[in-house]
Amino acid sequence: MRKSIIDFQKQKANRDKITMVAAYDYPSARALDEAGVDMILVGDSVAMVLLGHEDTLSVSMEEMLIFTKAVSKAAKNAFVLADMPFMSYQSSTYDALQNAAKFMKEGRANGVKLEGGSEFSECIRALSRASIPVIAHIGLTPQSVNAMGGYKVQGKSKEAAKKLIDDAKAVQDAGASMVLMECVPSKLAQKITQILEVPTIGIGAGKHCDGQVLVYHDFLGLHQGFKPKFVRKFANLNPNEGIKAYINAVKSGEFPSEEYSFSLENDEWIEELY
């Protein structure tokens, strides 16, 4: 049985760190689930990691549903969290409810994540009333990259820090089950974690959050592009060496050998064909 929001509340109370990983396909989700990861986020970062876009804005609801379905089929124990893509909830509360319902009914997700603070309190409240667990994403919100002027650390001034605290309290009051903080100074993230009753998840927000999230392809070294400061590689599975070895083996005739081929006990008659 998959983990629930209640389980994560208990983990916060017991100071048992929550592990979340962003992943997008069946084999990745199965590996994470079997390893014991608490939550799998089907992030809109798939736009950049798998689909080759420059930002997260281009991925659609239809695409996100495909990835969510794949992850949900693999996850037996991990909580599956679906990321609501750009303009799937900003336009109206009605749209937010309709699209979140698709993630829950068709994608078999256990909850949804949306970016934004107090300005989305009404949306979070409506989703919570519909019994849809909501994780609110504050700090650096990639869907707002054009308005923010780039990917920058948030809450660096006293005024900006107070706004983040107010946002965190507002989304909790609106019914958010958890708050994800991205690119927030460690001490500020610690303060917010202490203030909130709901668990916090950090990405580039220091070690004092109730849990952490990284992208599967980043921390395993599968993604060889830009690496943010907050990404630590726990393995280096750079596929280049394997790809080059395959090319060389095919060109040299080494692969496939008999070990990787099928044969008949008596195949002399094949020469007689035609």
Is the pTM here over 0.85, yes or no?
yes
Positions annotated as catalytic residues are 182
Q: Can you list the residues of the chain whose pLDDT is less than 70?
A: 224-226
pLDDT in tens, 215-230: 999 999 887 666 778 8
pLDDT score for 226: 66
- Bridge partners (DSSP) of residue 21 are 40, 214
pLDDT score for 225: 67
pLDDT score for 29: 97
Distance CA 229, CA 184 (A): 12
Please state, as a whole number, how many other Cβ atoms lie within 10 Å of the Cβ of residue 151: 14
pLDDT score for 242: 87
DSSP string for 88-101: SSSS-HHHHHHHHH
